[in-house]
Amino acid sequence: MAKIAVLGYGVVGSGTVEVFYRNKENLEKKAGEQLDIKYILDVRDFPDSPYADKFVKDFNVILNDPEVSVVSEVIGGIKPAYDFVKSALLAGKSVVTSNKELVAAKGAELLKIAKEKNVNFFFEASVGGGIPIIKPIHTCLEANEIDDIAGILNGTTNFILTKMIRDGMGFDEALKTAQELGYAERNPAADVEGTDACRKICILASLVFGKHVYPESVHTEGITKVTLEDVEYIDSYDAKIKLIGCAKRSEGDKIFIGVFPAVIRNESQLSGVNDVFNAILVRGDATGDVVFYGKGAGKLPTASAVVSDIVSAVKHAGTSRSLTWKDSEQSFVRPFEEFRCANYIRLCADNIKAAKDKAGEIFGDKIEFLSSKKQHDNELAFITDVMTEKETLNACEKLSENAKILGRIRVLDY
Q: List active site positions.
A: 200
Please list, in sequence order, all residues whose beta carbon lies within 8 angstroms of the beta carbon of residue 187, skipping any fewer than 6 positions away: none
* 245 is an interface residue for ligand HSE by CB under 6 A: no
Answer yes or no whether residue 221 interacts with ligand HSE by CB under 6 A: no
Say how far apart CA 105 and CA 94 lie, in whole Å: 19
Helix (H), strand (E) at residue 82: helix 81-90
DSSP single-letter state for residue 285: T
C-alpha–C-alpha distance, residues 202 and 215, integer Å: 6
Least Cβ distance, residue 204 to ligand HSE (angstroms)? 13
- Is 129 near ligand HSE (CB under 6 A)? yes
User: Is 195 a residue that touches ligand HSE (CB under 6 A)?
Assistant: no
Residue 301 to residue 56: CA distance in whole angstroms: 26
How many residues contact ligand HSE, by CB under 6 A? 11
Minimum gap (Å) between residue 91 Cβ and ligand HSE: 28
Give the residue, chosen from 94, 97, 154, 312, that forms a contact with ligand HSE under the rule CB under 6 A: 154
Secondary structure class of 153 (helix, strand, coil): coil
Helical spans, DSSP H, in 264-408:
299-315, 352-363, 389-399
Q: Does residue 383 interact with ligand HSE by CB under 6 A?
A: no
H-helix or E-strand spanning residue 159: helix 155-167
Is residue 155 at the binding interface for ligand HSE, with CB under 6 A as the rule? yes
Q: Which of 73, 101, 124, 185 binds ligand HSE (CB under 6 A)?
A: 185
Provide the minimum distance between the beta carbon of 125 and ligand HSE in the complex, in angstroms, as a whole number.
Answer: 8
**Pair type for strands 379-383 and 387-388:** unpaired
* Residue number with CB closer to ligand HSE (94 or 195): 195
C-beta of 173 vs 338, nearer to ligand HSE: 173
> Is residue 406 classed exposed, middle or buried when 0-12, 13-18 and 19+ CB atoms within 10 A define those classes?
middle
Binding mask 289-328 for ligand HSE (x = CB under 6 A): -------xx-------------------------------
Nearer of residues 198 and 313 to ligand HSE, judged by Cβ: 198
CB of 135 closer than 8 Å to CB of 124:
yes
Q: What residues line the site for ligand HSE (CB under 6 A)?
A: 129, 154-156, 183-185, 191, 196, 296-297
